[in-house]
Structures are given as structure tokens and as C-alpha cells.
Amino acid sequence: MAPSISSCAVCGVEANLKCGGCKNVVYCGKDHQKVHWRKGHKAMCKCVELKVDEVMGRYLSATRDIKQGEVIFREKPLAIGPKVSCMPMCLGCNVFLTLKPKEKNYYKCSQCNWPLCGPSCEKSPLHTEECSLMASRKFKAQINATPAEEGKKEAAYCAIVPLRCCLLKESDPEGFQRLCELQSHLEKRIETPLYRVLKANLITFIKTILRLDFDEFTIMRITAILDTNCFEIRHQHKNIKVRALYPQASMIAHSCVPNTTHVFSEDFEFVLIATVDIAKGSPIFVTYGQTLQGTLQRREHLRQVKFFECFCERCADPTELSTFAGSFNCTRCNNGKMIPTNPFEDTAPWRCSACESEISAKQVINGNRAIMTEISELDQHSPKEFEAFLLKYRDILHGTNTHMLQVKYALSQLYGNIPGFQLQQLSEAAIIRKIDICRELLEVGKLLEPGLSFFRGYLLMDLQSVLAIQAKRDFDNKTANREETLRLLTEAMDLLQEAVKILSPDPALKEFIDTKVQEMTTLMQL
Ligand SMILES: C[S@@+](CC[C@H](N)C(=O)[O-])C[C@H]1O[C@@H](n2cnc3c(N)ncnc32)[C@H](O)[C@@H]1O
């Protein structure tokens, strides 16, 4: 069953009394909380503990066996707000602002002049404290709508979350203390051009304009803590994209083969869910990277943004768990695959698995770079261009090479979703193509993001949609009889059920899921 985040653990009715220990289960009342405790929750409460490792630093570990699909913990954000650079958004409710017809500018807060979505957000608990401070210092924000530059990002927003963190020192000293204990990597970040700019803006705003009693080092450390630990939240259905800090979730270590996924509730609670069974004593992992990238790119990304070297099981394996995602075909023997002689060493040569011929790491890195540029220059709305890329490179790049996988993933999104290629408009060939691509990617997903991962969830949803369309078409065209059609629809239904199980904990996907279920219900009525 899909993990529910709002029904009583005993009777299943909608509930909101949370277990104060693990915050993982809710009850309709104290009586059912007691019943559940006696029935075994006592042993299940809090399934993670903090540990320290020489390489990973602090991390969370399972205190007992955790079952696939279990909610491991929930946590409210300690701080939330705009990303470093973002489009104008309401500081009261986080929604991106848009102009209504005939409006020339956004509604502005009567006290501090920051854009808000309306008068009610002036009183939002998220905004009142910072607003009073800014008003008391006579600070007036200067952000105006620029219809000619729609989507323009405003750098001024970079100061809001650091400011909210500074204000915690008074309003929530315990929370502020927890924040200060998080990792920052400030010593490395401070040298970067971004930090030079941030430093100039933030110090002026917080120390000089708002006259808060914080030294430069603390302000920059808070900024670096945010960059190291914040999660990005996208609630597309509400036009929201923010960053938020969760002290406990900040302790989760990275692996390129994660054993959890996470969603954010409507009110931005972090919900961590086990994607596979996790044995007692195992670390809890999320992924900070992108699954379809090869080891070279993933490790480089982690080095750049999180300042560590990844030694996970996938990075350690030259075959990347038998996917050979970072590898490419040997053009000398046309038989083997080129794999790194040492995946932890970026300068180590690459060798063919069959003929043992070698090439330098530099050649591999340059080759990857050229191909990535080529992909970025493809028309992102043209299945034809993506297909042409796959054809062009089919001799050099095998089917599960990172570049091929990324292009196939893009194609799986284009077929069925863009004008001219909506599901109902797809040709017979495009339908078969989409089915094949989804199946191929799901095979890779099984190895790299197994279990209830969102990577698999979206692909399952895509595959069921296109299978259902094919079944319906074949039936209508009389190329399949009722029995054959029902067999295909049943397969689609099974995939849909698995997709719903994976995706339904995310409230942002509710409408999407409801639509898919509705589509399938209609199709099943042959
Ligand atoms: C969000 S914090 C995680 C908590 C952190 N370990 C601590 O002690 O505060 C992210 C940082 O943890 C470290 N880290 C996380 N996963 C790691 C891993 N698999 N190997 C090495 N370091 C890791 C890196 O320094 C990374 O920048």
C-alpha cells in the first residue's frame, strides 16, 4: 500500500495528531495513539540514529530493519524561502508572482515594500518578523515588475533566507544552535566568485542596513550552511520553487545508489521514504546527483557543489553496476567497452574490456565534453533531432551510455507530451518507440535507482499511458481482439498501480495521478 501521510495508524481515518517521538505516524486521538504504542509502535518509533564516519562525517543509520515504502521520518523546515536568485515571489506564501491583466506592478507590502501576492500575506508568520525589522530600519525593497523581461531573476532575494536564519537566534535559539552545527565547507566556498558577490550583498544588507549584531564570518557561514544542506522544493501545481533547511534531513549522506526518496507535504514538511528494504545498521542514503550521468560527471558535480569525493558502490565499480553508463564502445576491436582502469582517479587511463587497448583520461573527458555540448545544442522540442543524435553515435556509444540514456530520457518525455506529439497524435512507430525507450530506461532504473524511486515511478506512468493507447488503437483498428487488448490493458493497469504507489506520497502529483487513473478507467471500459 502507498505510504499515507495523513491517516490514523490504527483506524485509517484522516488524522493529524502526530507521534511526538518519531513524527512518522498520525492518530485520530490519544486513545488510538496508546493502542498503537502497545501494539508495537514502541519498538518501531525512531528508526534512525546519528553516527559518524571518517569519510562521510555525520550520517543517519537504521536502528532496525526498515521496510520498502516505510516513512522513515518527517521534519518541519527550520528555514524556508527564496533561492539565491529567483523570479519575484511572495515572501508571505512563497508563490511566484504574476501580473493580472491591466496590472502594471506587483502588490507591495505596506511596511517593507517587498512584492507580495496580496494584503493577507503582509500578516503571514513567515514574513512579519523580517518585515518589522526592515520597516524599523526604513528599508524599502525595490523590486518591480518588468513585463518586457518576463522570468527575470532578482538577486536581492539571496538575502532573505540568511536573514531568516539570523532572526532565529532570538526567536528560536535552540533551532539557531542546530543550524550553526551544520556543515558549511565555507573555507572552500569563500574563494569562489559567487561568494565574493554574495559577501558584498549580504554583509551590507544584514550588518549595515539592518544593523543586526552578526559578524561577517557568521553571516557567510550561514550562507554556506544553506548551500551545503538546503533542499529544493518544487510545488509546480502551486507555482512554488523554494529552498528549505531541515536539520535532521541534513544529516543524510549521499550515495549514487540511494535507498530512499523524499517528498514535501503541502506545508513543506520533509517526508523521507525507504525505496528498498534497509537492513538494521545500514546508512540511510539520498542522492545529491543525477542518476543518468556517468561516474566521471557525477563525481565532478559532487566535488564542485558538495566538496567531497564519492566512494559509493556505483562509483567504485568500473562497470557502474553492469550498466557501463560511463563507458563507450572500443573502436579498435569493435567488441569490448572502454572502462576506467581506476574510477576513483580522474587521470587514470581507460582500457578496452576485450582487446586491452588504452586511451588517456583526457581524451575521454574531452570527448564527453564535446558530446554534452552537442546535446545541449539540439532543439529541445525536436524528437527528430534527438533521434538523429542516437543514430549518429550508435557505433561509438552503446545503448546504456550516459549520453544515450539522457537523450532517450528526453525522448521519453517528448513523445506523448509536446504539441504535435501528444499521446493521441503519436504514429504507430512513435508509440512503439516510446514503449521500447521506457522499457530500456526501466531496466537501467532497476539497477541504479531500484525500488520505489521517482525515476522509476515517472517511467512506469509513461509506459502505462502509451501501452493503454496502443491497446485501444489496436482494438479500434481490429488488429487485436478483445482478449489480446485486455491482456495489454491489464499490464498497463499493473504498471499504473505501481506508479501510483511510488508517486502518490507527493502531494504535488495528485492532479497528475488522478488524470492518469481517470484515463485508464475510461480505457478499461472497452
Ligand atoms: C548535507 S551534509 C551531510 C551531513 C554531513 N556529513 C555532516 O557531518 O554534517 C553534506 C556533506 O556531507 C558529506 N558527505 C555526504 N555524503 C558523503 C559521502 N557519501 N561521502 C563523503 N562525504 C559525504 C560531504 O562533506 C557533504 O558536503
Residue 107 lies in a domain: yes
Q: Would you give the DSSP letter of residue 119? A: G
274 pocket-lining for ligand 1 (C-beta < 6 Å): no
**Does pLDDT of 110 surpass 50?**
yes
Which H or E element spans position 24? none
pLDDT at position 3? 37
Do 210 and 318 lie in one domain? The reply is no
Reported as a pLDDT band with limits 50, 70 and 90, residue 179 is: very high
Q: Report the nearest atom of ligand 1 relative to the CA of 55.
A: 21
Do 371 and 475 lie in one domain? The reply is no
Q: Report the nearest atom of ligand 1 relative to the CA of 255.
A: 19
Q: What is the ipTM of this complex?
A: 0.99
Specify which residues 57 forms β-bridges with.
53
Residue 295 lies in a domain: no
Do 427 and 492 lie in one domain? The reply is yes
- CB–CB of 123/129 below 8 Å? no
Q: Report the nearest atom of ligand 1 relative to the CA of 310.
A: 20
* Alpha carbon of 281 to ligand 1 centroid (Å): 18
287 pocket-lining for ligand 1 (C-beta < 6 Å): no
Please report how many Cα atoms fall inside a 13 Å half-sphere around the Cα of residue 270, on the Cβ side.
25
Q: Report the nearest atom of ligand 1 relative to the CA of 58.
A: 8
Do 425 and 341 lie in one domain? The reply is no
Which H or E element spans position 80? strand 79-81
Do 424 and 388 lie in one domain? The reply is no
Which among 245, 262, 293 is the end of a domain?
Answer: 245
Residue 101 lies in a domain: yes
Q: Report the nearest atom of ligand 1 relative to the CA of 307.
A: 27
Cα separations (Å) of 221 from 188, 203, 206, 463, 479? Answer: 11, 12, 13, 46, 66
Residue 476 lies in a domain: yes
**Does pLDDT of 2 surpass 60?**
no
Which residue of 53, 183, 272 sits with most ligand 1 atoms within 8 Å of its CB, as the best mutation to test the pocket? Answer: 183
pLDDT at position 102? 84
Q: Which residues contact 429 (CB under 8 A, 6 or more apart)?
A: none
* CA separation for the pair 465, 479 (Å, rounded): 19
Residue 323 DSSP SS3 = coil
235 pocket-lining for ligand 1 (C-beta < 6 Å): no
Do 109 and 229 lie in one domain? The reply is yes
Instruction: Enter the C-alpha cell of residue 52.
Output: 559518524
User: The domain containing residue 99 runs over which residues?
Assistant: 79-245
* CA separation for the pair 43, 24 (Å, rounded): 13
* Alpha carbon of 192 to ligand 1 centroid (Å): 20
Do 441 and 342 lie in one domain? The reply is no
Q: Is this prediction's pTM over 0.80? A: yes
Q: What's the distance, CA 517 to chain centroid?
A: 24
Residue 69 lies in a domain: no
Residue 352 lies in a domain: yes
Do 22 and 130 lie in one domain? The reply is no
* CA separation for the pair 300, 360 (Å, rounded): 17
pLDDT at position 501? 97
57 pocket-lining for ligand 1 (C-beta < 6 Å): yes
Q: Which residues contact 254 (CB under 8 A, 6 or more apart)?
A: 285, 286, 287, 288, 289, 302, 306, 308, 310, 312
Give tens-digit pLDDT for 190-210: 989 999 999 989 999 999 999
pLDDT at position 44? 72
**Does pLDDT of 22 surpass 80?**
no
Nearest CA to ligand 1 atom 26: 306
248 pocket-lining for ligand 1 (C-beta < 6 Å): no
Do 129 and 190 lie in one domain? The reply is yes
Q: How many CB atoms lie within 10 A of CB 21?
A: 13
Do 450 and 365 lie in one domain? The reply is no
Do 362 and 437 lie in one domain? The reply is no
446 pocket-lining for ligand 1 (C-beta < 6 Å): no
- CB–CB of 492/524 below 8 Å? no
Reported as a pLDDT band with limits 50, 70 and 90, residue 1 is: very low
Q: Domain total for the chain?
A: 4
Do 428 and 392 lie in one domain? The reply is no
Specify which residues 340 forms β-bridges with.
350
51 pocket-lining for ligand 1 (C-beta < 6 Å): no
